[in-house]
Chains A and B, each alone.
Chain A
Amino acid sequence: MSPIQTTPRPLVMLTVFFLTVGLWQTGEGSWMYAKARLAQMLLQRAWSRTLTGERLVKPWPWADTYPVAKLTVPSLQIDLIVLNGAYGRTLAFGPGYSESSAFPGSPGTTILTGHRDTHFYFLKRLKRQDEILIETDQRTSQRYLVQSSKVVDARTASIRLMEGEDQLVLVTCYPFDSILTGGPLRYLVTAIRVLSALPRSSDTPVGRESGARGELTPPT
């Protein structure tokens, strides 16, 4: 008998099996992150077309949603395109605007939802008084200041539609770094709209509803 033992066939197969599964799963997992990134790139292009006056621009031919606003957080270098509709199939690509809340940039409560592990991971790092800018397709920009953040149980909590207060509510899953998905907790960040113009562009006219006009200097 040869002292050299060939690896038993089942073992080879098992190894191949695990190898395949491993590559497949890591591929799948990475793809989700890649998709979230790639989509935002395409969305940026769709957004610039939206700003030129095109309506309901599809970021890719088979898309069933379109960009509605641009969300920037200068202090964290966050620059995201917000999609219409907060459904599973849109959230993979970007934060979604909940259609029944106030339209981004308009008076009332606007609700934006995003994935905690991709686009809205930054919510964790938002601090009180941080500035959030919402640019709309009307080329106007609204400025919001973070007021509070809290963790709620989605089974019991509800968001108050504040009357007469213009605010932005950002929603994501909680806790941020949990491996498991589908938990009941949600992390809400509330930001209140401020009417003052940007600190640096004091020359821009201040409108009651429209806020600062168009040419927002992007964070450098």
Chain B
Amino acid sequence: MTTLHEAAQRNAKPTRPVLLLTLLMVILLWVGSLPVALACGDPPSNESDLAERGMRLKDVTQGSLLFKTHETGRFTPAPLLKTDVKISISGVIARTTVAQEFVNPSRRKNAWAEGLYVFPLPETAAVDHLRMKVGERTIIGEIRERAEAKRTYEQAKQDGKRASLVEQERPNVFTVSVANIAPLDRIIIEIEYQETVRYDQQVYSLRFPMVVGPRYIPGTPVIIEGETQGSGWAANTDRVPDASRMTPPVQHPGLGPVNPVTLTIDLAAGFPLGKIASPYHDILTIADQDGRRHITLRQDRVPANRDFQLTWQPAGGPSPSAIAYLQQQSENSYGFLMVAPPASNESVSTPPREAIFVIDTSGSMAGTSIEQAKAALVLALGRLTSQDRFNVIQFNSATHLLFSEPQPVRTDTLGKAVRYVEQLHADGGTEILPALKMALKGSPPPSHLRQVIFLTDGQVGNEDELFAVIRTELGTSRLFTIGIGSAPNSHFMRKAAEFGRGTFTHIGSTSEVKAQMDAMFRRVERPVLTDIHIQGFEATAELFPSRIPDLYDGEPVVLAFKTSTIPSSITLTGTFNARTWTQTVDVAGASPRDGLSVYWARQKIASLMDQKRSERNDGSLRQSVLDVALAHHLVSPYTSLVAIDTEPIRPNDASLMTHAIKTDLPEGQDYQAIFGLPRTATNGPWHLLIGLIALAVAFWLWRPRDRFA
């Protein structure tokens, strides 16, 4: 017989192990339950989407659904795609060749393939060459009016000829179609374009986008009988009539990346180079004897899931304040001019500001993007001074205002704003329009400068609709866009800022937030160079932009011109901080360069398209764009490049399957937040279960005491 004491001791002793054991169990339960609790049920936004691998029931948050299923191509594998990019930079002009290799992996003799690939290019790219390579042969693409090019392509496709077609959907979104890829055969499509590098605050930069991120498509689906829809996951809507052409199917990230990219850059900056950096990719740089640099990615191939960016700076001392290039072409001369006003280091008293911060909290921002945006916004709030007024607006499917009216900066208002921003999470649609209207509405006291700072990834399909709102409702406000995330819609960022008479900035990683926001604030806080005029050109010279916009600190004047007589020099004047700024540039002595006519033509098209957005006299402007594009061999909204092989190769009895090539999800984005159906279960039962177990354990622990008492 054991005494009570002994029993108690025996019972008491194990308490320690029991205690440890139960504690461990509890911890395990909590840790274990976390992902589960997050995986379904209520809001948390950064849930791991492991549980939802391969969701195909696409949401609904993305405007029109999913619900177009493509029966074709279900039973044969889609062509595989590899991209090789070669960029050659000379001064401030870059020429890029993008070689896309399509391989039909099917072994079945009769499984011929057509591949459709929606891909991005820089929003300023002038696409002027298409080459289709079949074995040793090269077929040169020709420029045609868009509908005609499409007909030519379709005819060749029917005839069984190899064919390819490059169409522009947006200034930064293109579609390449490749028909009649034989089983186990390959076709290489080479697309060549030209662009100028960006120069801002003494840094040169070049961006190469790699993926068109999933766009939010607002509006009601519209299906027109007899009209073929594109291959995308969205149906055309009343507000985005070409939605189905710019929403390529997205590979689930859990299934691994699909389109590998290799990239090399040949950089001839024209001056001794200082720092060269690529913020998002590891690079290898080899210097040449003559100062050129060969740059490659450190990894052989990278997934096409984020923008590539290269930045470079001159070694010591400022770079030349003016760059001028000339090209003679028959009776005309084309020219390029970049003039950087001297950097101002004078500190001026900034006028009080009314800052309206607009932050995108839609599903496409879920993941790393929202963290970057929040960090940037908190930083921006910290830069406000007591003379300023401010408000914060967030938007997803709905628009929320922090304050009904902009508030003065005080401890309580600022504190409230910081707490508000810190609790933001991303989920839902991207209804920019009402938020934009809300942000542009309102009149500040006359003493205040009104600045709208817009943080978004711009992943929408209705850009033109938004530009129209900015243009008509801007008033005295200035709009500054901050492109967030790994693959933002740069076309939206640039144009919105242009129409909003502000500037744009990119933030692609959390480590960049501070530097980029500092740069942005240098722009908004320093005086602006206004009333810029150019003298010296003959009256018939065509200059683009025709009206030079106001320049923020560190921005250069960039000009493309076409003239019959070259002036020996031109003079730029402007007003800076209530003083007159003048600079004379020697044009006659400019260094000769090729490709300036292409650059000029591209600027002209951009300018015409801007006019079209405002004037709506579609007919004559369309003709003007056609004239320029056809003359300069450029892809535009109305012209496409098409290349057709000579001989039919597909046998009559072999079928041709059309495949929309999948794209990767931009890095850091959350597939579930964009495409996932909402989780349709609460974790209520789970909480109840845990709660009851815990109560039972508590009861059990309490019982022994009764026995000893």
- Contact partners of A16 in chain B: CB under 8 A: 698
B679 partner, pick from A1, A32, A181, beta carbons under 8 A: A181
Interface of chain A residues 145 through 189 with chain B (CB within 8 A): 152, 154-161, 163, 171-173, 178-184, 186
B59 partner, pick from A21, A98, A115, beta carbons under 8 A: A98
Interface of chain A residues 23 through 41 with chain B (CB within 8 A): 23-30, 32-33, 36
- Contact partners of A5 in chain B: CB under 8 A: 5, 8, 12, 708
Task: Report the Cα distance A178→B472, complex, angstroms.
Answer: 54
A181 and B698 form a contact (CB under 8 A): no
Task: Report the Cα distance A161→B332, complex, angstroms.
Answer: 56
Q: Is B85 part of the binding interface, using a Cβ–Cβ cutoff of 8 Å?
A: no
Q: Is B109 part of the binding interface, using a Cβ–Cβ cutoff of 8 Å?
A: no
A99 and B429 form a contact (CB under 8 A): yes
Q: Is B286 part of the binding interface, using a Cβ–Cβ cutoff of 8 Å?
A: no
B686 partner, pick from A21, A86, A113, A180, beta carbons under 8 A: A180
Of the candidate stretches B65-73, B496-504, B562-570, the one touching chain A is B65-73
A179 and B685 form a contact (CB under 8 A): yes
A99 and B65 form a contact (CB under 8 A): no
- Contact partners of B679 in chain A: CB under 8 A: 88, 91, 173, 181-182
B40 and A96 form a contact (CB under 8 A): no
Interface of chain A residues 1 through 49 with chain B (CB within 8 A): 1, 3-5, 7-8, 10-11, 14-19, 21-30, 32-33, 36
Known: A1-B5, A64-B398. A29 touches B685 (CB 8 A): yes
B39 and A14 form a contact (CB under 8 A): no
Task: Report the Cα distance A85→B263, complex, angstroms.
Answer: 42
Task: Report the Cα distance A36→B684, complex, angstroms.
Answer: 11
Task: Report the Cα distance A16→B698, complex, angstroms.
Answer: 7
Q: Is A120 part of the binding interface, using a Cβ–Cβ cutoff of 8 Å?
A: yes
Interface of chain B residues 49 through 86 with chain A (CB within 8 A): 51-69
Q: Is B687 part of the binding interface, using a Cβ–Cβ cutoff of 8 Å?
A: yes
Which interface residue of B59, B252, B678, B701 has the most chain A CB atoms within 10 A? Answer: B678
B235 partner, pick from A24, A115, A161, A184, beta carbons under 8 A: A161
State how many angstroms separate the Cβ of B44 from the closest Cβ of chain A.
8
0/1 string, A129-148, CB within 8 A of B gives 1: 00000000000000000000
A100 and B55 form a contact (CB under 8 A): no
Known: A7-B705, A186-B680. A154 touches B691 (CB 8 A): no
- Contact partners of B59 in chain A: CB under 8 A: 86, 98
State how many angstroms separate the Cβ of A60 from the closest Cβ of chain B.
14
B694 partner, pick from A22, A157, A182, beta carbons under 8 A: A22
State how many angstroms separate the Cβ of B623 from the closest Cβ of chain A.
36
B688 and A25 form a contact (CB under 8 A): yes
A98 and B695 form a contact (CB under 8 A): no
Known: A15-B698, A161-B65. A22 touches B692 (CB 8 A): yes
State how many angstroms separate the Cβ of A64 from the closest Cβ of chain B.
5
A154 and B55 form a contact (CB under 8 A): yes
Interface of chain A residues 102 through 124 with chain B (CB within 8 A): 108-109, 111, 113-118, 120
A87 and B678 form a contact (CB under 8 A): yes
- Contact partners of B66 in chain A: CB under 8 A: 158-159
Q: Is B397 part of the binding interface, using a Cβ–Cβ cutoff of 8 Å?
A: yes
The residue in chain A whose Cβ has the minimal distance to the Cβ of B694 is A22
Interface of chain B residues 362 through 403 with chain A (CB within 8 A): 397-398, 400
A100 and B62 form a contact (CB under 8 A): yes
Task: Report the Cα distance A16→B689, complex, angstroms.
Answer: 18
Q: Is B36 part of the binding interface, using a Cβ–Cβ cutoff of 8 Å?
A: yes
- Contact partners of A15 in chain B: CB under 8 A: 698, 701-702
Q: Is B348 part of the binding interface, using a Cβ–Cβ cutoff of 8 Å?
A: no
B57 and A32 form a contact (CB under 8 A): no
Interface of chain B residues 667 through 709 with chain A (CB within 8 A): 676-698, 701-702, 704-705, 708-709
Which interface residue of A85, A99, A115 has the most chain B CB atoms within 10 A? Answer: A99
B688 and A21 form a contact (CB under 8 A): no
Q: Is B214 part of the binding interface, using a Cβ–Cβ cutoff of 8 Å?
A: no
B56 and A156 form a contact (CB under 8 A): yes
How many residues in B have their beta carbons less than 8 Å from beta carbons of A? 77
The residue in chain A whose Cβ has the minimal distance to the Cβ of B217 is A100
Task: Report the Cα distance A179→B676, complex, angstroms.
Answer: 21
- Contact partners of B68 in chain A: CB under 8 A: 161
The residue in chain A whose Cβ has the minimal distance to the Cβ of B66 is A158
- Contact partners of A89 in chain B: CB under 8 A: 42-43, 427
- Contact partners of B65 in chain A: CB under 8 A: 98, 100-101, 158-159, 161
B695 and A109 form a contact (CB under 8 A): no
A171 and B680 form a contact (CB under 8 A): yes
Q: Is A197 part of the binding interface, using a Cβ–Cβ cutoff of 8 Å?
A: no
State how many angstroms separate the Cβ of A116 from the closest Cβ of chain B.
5
State how many angstroms separate the Cβ of B217 from the closest Cβ of chain A.
8
A3 and B60 form a contact (CB under 8 A): no
Task: Report the Cα distance A28→B686, complex, angstroms.
Answer: 10
State how many angstroms separate the Cβ of B27 from the closest Cβ of chain A.
12
Known: A98-B60, A99-B397. A21 touches B678 (CB 8 A): no
State how many angstroms separate the Cβ of B563 from the closest Cβ of chain A.
51
B681 partner, pick from A1, A14, A28, A115, beta carbons under 8 A: A115
Q: Is B28 part of the binding interface, using a Cβ–Cβ cutoff of 8 Å?
A: no
Task: Report the Cα distance A41→B690, complex, angstroms.
Answer: 28
B684 and A29 form a contact (CB under 8 A): yes
Known: A87-B428, A154-B55. A115 touches B680 (CB 8 A): yes
B677 and A113 form a contact (CB under 8 A): yes
B52 partner, pick from A33, A86, A108, A182, beta carbons under 8 A: A182
Task: Report the Cα distance A83→B445, complex, angstroms.
Answer: 39
Q: Is A65 part of the binding interface, using a Cβ–Cβ cutoff of 8 Å?
A: yes
Task: Report the Cα distance A181→B55, complex, angstroms.
Answer: 15
Q: Is A51 part of the binding interface, using a Cβ–Cβ cutoff of 8 Å?
A: no
State how many angstroms separate the Cβ of B689 from the closest Cβ of chain A.
6
A14 and B56 form a contact (CB under 8 A): no
Q: Is A195 part of the binding interface, using a Cβ–Cβ cutoff of 8 Å?
A: no
Task: Report the Cα distance A101→B677, complex, angstroms.
Answer: 13
Q: Is B287 part of the binding interface, using a Cβ–Cβ cutoff of 8 Å?
A: no
Which interface residue of B427, B676, B682 has the most chain A CB atoms within 10 A? Answer: B682
B221 and A161 form a contact (CB under 8 A): yes
Task: Report the Cα distance A181→B42, complex, angstroms.
Answer: 11
State how many angstroms separate the Cβ of B39 from the closest Cβ of chain A.
3
B400 and A64 form a contact (CB under 8 A): yes
The residue in chain B whose Cβ has the minimal distance to the Cβ of A92 is B42
A25 and B684 form a contact (CB under 8 A): no
The residue in chain A whose Cβ has the minimal distance to the Cβ of B223 is A163
B691 and A21 form a contact (CB under 8 A): yes
Q: Is B577 part of the binding interface, using a Cβ–Cβ cutoff of 8 Å?
A: no
A100 and B680 form a contact (CB under 8 A): no
Task: Report the Cα distance A52→B281, complex, angstroms.
Answer: 58
Task: Report the Cα distance A41→B438, complex, angstroms.
Answer: 32
- Contact partners of A28 in chain B: CB under 8 A: 684, 687, 691
Task: Report the Cα distance A131→B461, complex, angstroms.
Answer: 38
Q: Which B residues form the contact surface with A (CB < 8 A)?
A: 3-5, 8, 12, 15-16, 19, 22-23, 26, 36-37, 39-43, 51-69, 217, 221, 223, 235, 252, 397-398, 400, 427-429, 676-698, 701-702, 704-705, 708-709
Q: Which 10 A-B pairs have the closest CB atoms?
A: A181-B40, A25-B691, A182-B39, A22-B695, A29-B687, A26-B691, A98-B60, A29-B688, A18-B698, A22-B694
Q: List 28 A-B contacts (CB under 8 A).
A: A3-B3, A7-B708, A17-B698, A18-B697, A19-B694, A25-B687, A27-B691, A28-B691, A29-B691, A84-B397, A86-B61, A86-B678, A87-B428, A88-B41, A91-B679, A99-B63, A99-B397, A113-B60, A113-B677, A116-B680, A118-B684, A158-B57, A158-B67, A158-B69, A171-B680, A173-B40, A182-B40, A186-B57
Having A32-B683, A181-B37, one finds 17 other A-B pairs with CB under 8 Å, namely A3-B8, A7-B704, A8-B15, A10-B16, A15-B702, A18-B22, A29-B689, A85-B397, A100-B221, A115-B681, A155-B53, A155-B252, A156-B54, A161-B67, A172-B681, A173-B679, A181-B39
